[in-house]
Amino acid sequence: MGGRKSDSSKKISQTNRGVLQHHFRYCQGINGNFDKQTERQATPDEGDEDNFGPGRSFWTTDQKKKLISSVLGVVVPTGVTHIPKGLGTSKNGELKASEWHALFAIYLPFATMCVFIESAAINKCLAKNEDTIENFTAVVCCTNILSSDKVHDKEIGNFTVEYSKYNATAANIFSNIKILPNHHYAPHIPDQMRQWRSV
């Protein structure tokens, strides 16, 4: 029975890693080429200024660079996984599972605020980026729940709610989002968590 539990934990870990990679590389466009547009980058003259920003279109090259710079500027204590200095570049290669976890659980929650809050008008920036912030918060919550040593019914329920929020907001934010096999498996994670109680 122990082998089945470790197989389940491994599959959950791989699924989480795949979802995080997809979110960072495809949805946010941090894929090793800052000069390439992620999908379509709006310009301020294409419409209402309130619809221009990371929450309403894909991130601009400057926003991507600011995000990576902010991630690399986060100071963490000894013992916490450090993010490679080449993050976001093609020469950096693949991140390890522990680096993906640290990126979403520790670094990005600090760094994204530098991109979301672009001026002194904090409330306006937060309102403009509401869907993006909710999407990002949901994926961070799911990551933290999956990395817990033990889970209870409350956390399992929270995972289900947060993953649903992640999917709903992603559909609003990222046009033509690709659904990958990891996304099809992720809704089954709560069943695995109930069966094994710790992942």
Q: How many domains, in total, are found in the chain?
A: 1
Alpha-carbon span 87 to 136, nearest angstrom: 19
Choice between 56 and 81, residue whose per-residue pLDDT is larger: 81
Burial 47-76 (b: 16+ CB within 10 A, else e): eeeeebbbbbbbbbeebbebbbebbbebee
CA 35 to chain centre: 21
78 CB neighbour count, 10 Å cutoff = 5
CA 176 to chain centre: 17
Alpha-carbon span 149 to 192, nearest angstrom: 14
Strands of the chain, DSSP E: none
Q: Report residue 189 as tokens.
A: 């994670």
Q: What tens digit of pLDDT does each residue of 70-94 get?
A: 999 999 999 999 998 888 777 766 7
**Percentage of residues of the chain with pLDDT beyond 70:** 62
The predicted model scores a pTM of 0.72
Q: Looking at residue 32, what DSSP letter applies?
A: B
Q: Are 87 and 70 in contact (CB under 8 A)?
A: no
What is the residue range of 123's domain?
Answer: 2-196
